[in-house]
Structures are given as C-alpha cells and as structure tokens.
C-alpha cells in the first residue's frame, strides 16, 4: 500500500479539476504530513473512486489540490449494518473504528434499557469513521445514524434485512446460558444458513439486554439469535468477532 496520504473529501472528483481544502485537512497536509507544492495526495469522496492529486498551493489553513488521474474505480462494501448500544467513550471509539475497517455499510447507535452512554456523540463517531476509512483504504465512509431506541428500530424494520442478534443468554433466565431451550445457535451455523441479502448485526450494552428486550427480539421473524461461544465477550469484542465471521462467510472476505 502506498505511503501517499489519503484524504476523504466532500468535493466531486472530475478529471483536471482543482479544489480547495480548508481547516484541519489543510493543516494536516502541510503541518503534520509536511507536504509542499508538487507533493501528491490520494483523495476519495465515496462516489467517484480514488484519485491522485498534486498540491498546488498551501498555507497554514488552506491548500489547493489539482486532480490528476483516477487510481481506483469506486467500489462499495457489502450491505451490512452494525447496530450497537453505546459504551464508555474509549470502547465505543474502538468499536466504531473496527467496524469501519471490517467493512460495515452503516453504523446505528441503539439505545437499550441498560445503555450507559450519557451522550451519543454522532459527530465524533463520524470523524472517527472518516479517519478509519482513510487508513483502511476504503473508498467510502459509512454514515453514523442518530441514536434510536431499540423498540423504535424494531417497529420500523425493513423485514428484507435479516437482523443477527448477538445473544449471550438463552430464554431461561434461571439457568446458566439460558438452558438448552433458549440458547442461540452457533454464529457460523446461522450465517451459513442465511440467504444472500442485506443484513444487520445487533450488539448489546455492557449490561446486556433486558428480558423484555430479548423476548421482543426473539419473536421477530427477521431476527436470528447467534451465539459467539461459551464465554461472555466485551461488547466491542463481540462486534469484531461477528463482523469478521460475517465477512468471511457471507461478505467480501470470500475469494
Ligand atoms: N449480559 C452479559 C452479562 O452476563 O453481564 C453482558 C453483555 S456482553 C458484555 C455485551 C454484548 O456482547 C451482549 O449483549 C451480546 O450482544 C454480546 N455478546 C457477548 N458475549 C457473547 C456471546 N458469547 N454470544 C453472543 N453474544 C455475546
């Protein structure tokens, strides 16, 4: 992979066009990456692929880039969403960054009964997602949606999109692991049995889902509970594990 810096820009990218960068991006190129006139940058905007650009002029707070040739055609990621209950700041930051690297198409913070996040900083998550997309050589940046209550999401759900519910417990709250009755099937078995098509993964908060939430989830025809094995994973670990499994079995990690 090239060491040439990559930047996500909003501008349309057309052959021979010039465009200006302001604020943080100009500062990043000139002061952090110490680029000068004539140096190269790779730019992408989530629509027109990746392009080679040359620095034409730069000050501390502005930079002008001249677009050269397209280096990569636009390519998206599989139609996979991540729904997660926000966690403590550092853990949520980690989860958002890994979800971008693992190729989710959209990220939706979900408010559940035991979600402990005081504030859901969507603007912060979106900045993290842009940085992760630049680093991971993606050609797009997944949108971070506004936080929504779990029950609201379920009531308006597009039933063509299967919802994989990372379910660490079973139906019988009195028995360890919910007893045999309610235990979720192993994730790889569930994933291999899915039809191709849009999917979403739901990861609960550190305190897990309430019994009412689990009952509501398990009765939906579009929900597939999945087990991630016999240990309780941190929410961010569970997210990485099931995203990786999905990409390997159903997504773009296949040959
Ligand atoms: N309810 C758990 C407990 O015993 O305290 C804690 C929840 S766990 C820290 C956070 C989330 O990660 C869960 O709600 C679930 O979505 C996911 N998760 C963790 N371990 C899992 C497992 N073994 N199988 C499926 N999902 C798991």
Per-residue pLDDT reduced to its tens digit, 184-215: 899 999 999 998 899 999 999 999 999 899 98
pLDDT of residue 173: 59
CATH 3.40.1280.10 residue ranges of the chain are 80-249
Query: Which of the given ranges, 3-7, 82-86, 251-255, has the highest pLDDT on average?
Result: 82-86
Buried b (16+ CB within 10 A) or exposed e, 48-85: bbbbbbbbeebeeeebbbebeebeeeeeebbebbbbbb
pLDDT of residue 179: 56
Q: Does the pLDDT at position 12 exceed 70?
A: yes
pLDDT of residue 17: 85
180 or 55, which is more confident? 55
Q: Which residues have a Cβ under 8 Å from the Cβ of 96 and sit 6 or more positions away?
A: 107, 125, 128, 129, 132, 144
pLDDT of residue 22: 85
CATH 2.40.240.20 residue ranges of the chain are 6-72
pLDDT of residue 195: 87
Given a contact cutoff of 8 angstroms between Cβ atoms, the answer to whether 6 and 42 are in contact is: yes
Pocket of ligand 1 (CB under 6 A): 166-168, 203-204, 206, 208-209, 227-229, 231-235, 238
Closest residue CA from atom 10 of ligand 1: 235
Q: How far, in Å, are 86, 163, 185, 247 from residue 191 at the CA level?
A: 25, 11, 10, 10
Specify the residue for token string 């692929």.
49
Q: Which two tokens stand for residue 94?
A: 């980690």
How many A from CA of 78 to the centre of ligand 1? 25
Residues 6-72: name the CATH superfamily. Answer: Hypothetical PUA domain-like; domain 1 (2.40.240.20)
For all residues of the chain together, what is the average pLDDT?
Answer: 92
15 or 183, which is more confident? 15
Whole-model pTM: value is 0.94
Given a contact cutoff of 8 angstroms between Cβ atoms, the answer to whether 150 and 111 are in contact is: yes
Fold annotation for 80-249: Alpha/beta knot (3.40.1280)
């Amino acid at each position: 992979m090239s060491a040439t810096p990559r930047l996500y820009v909003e501008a349309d990218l057309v052959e021979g066009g010039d465009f200006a960068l302001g604020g943080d991006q100009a500062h990043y190129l000139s002061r952090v990456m110490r680029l000068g006139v004539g140096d190269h940058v790779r730019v992408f905007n989530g629509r027109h692929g990746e392009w080679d650009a040359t620095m034409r002029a730069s000050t501390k707070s502005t930079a002008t880039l001249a677009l050269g040739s397209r280096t990569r055609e636009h390519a998206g990621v599989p139609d996979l969403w991540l729904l997660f209950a926000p966690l403590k700041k550092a853990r949520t930051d980690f989860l958002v960054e890994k979800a971008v690297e693992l190729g989710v198409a959209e990220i939706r913070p979900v408010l559940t009964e035991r979600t402990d996040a005081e504030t859901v900083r969507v603007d912060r998550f979106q900045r993290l997602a842009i940085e992760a997309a630049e680093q991971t050589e993606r050609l797009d940046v997944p949108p971070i949606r506004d936080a929504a209550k779990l029950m609201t999401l379920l009531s308006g759900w597009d039933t063509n999109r299967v919802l994989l519910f990372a379910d660490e417990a079973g139906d019988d709250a009195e028995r360890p692991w919910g007893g045999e009755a309610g235990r979720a099937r192993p994730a790889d078995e569930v994933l291999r049995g899915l039809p191709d098509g849009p999917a979403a993964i739901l990861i609960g908060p550190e305190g897990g889902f309430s019994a009412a939430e689990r009952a509501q989830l398990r009765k939906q025809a579009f929900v597939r509970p999945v087990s991630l094995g016999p240990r309780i994973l941190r929410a961010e670990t569970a997210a990485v594990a099931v995203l990786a499994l999905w990409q390997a079995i159903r997504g773009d990690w296949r040959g």
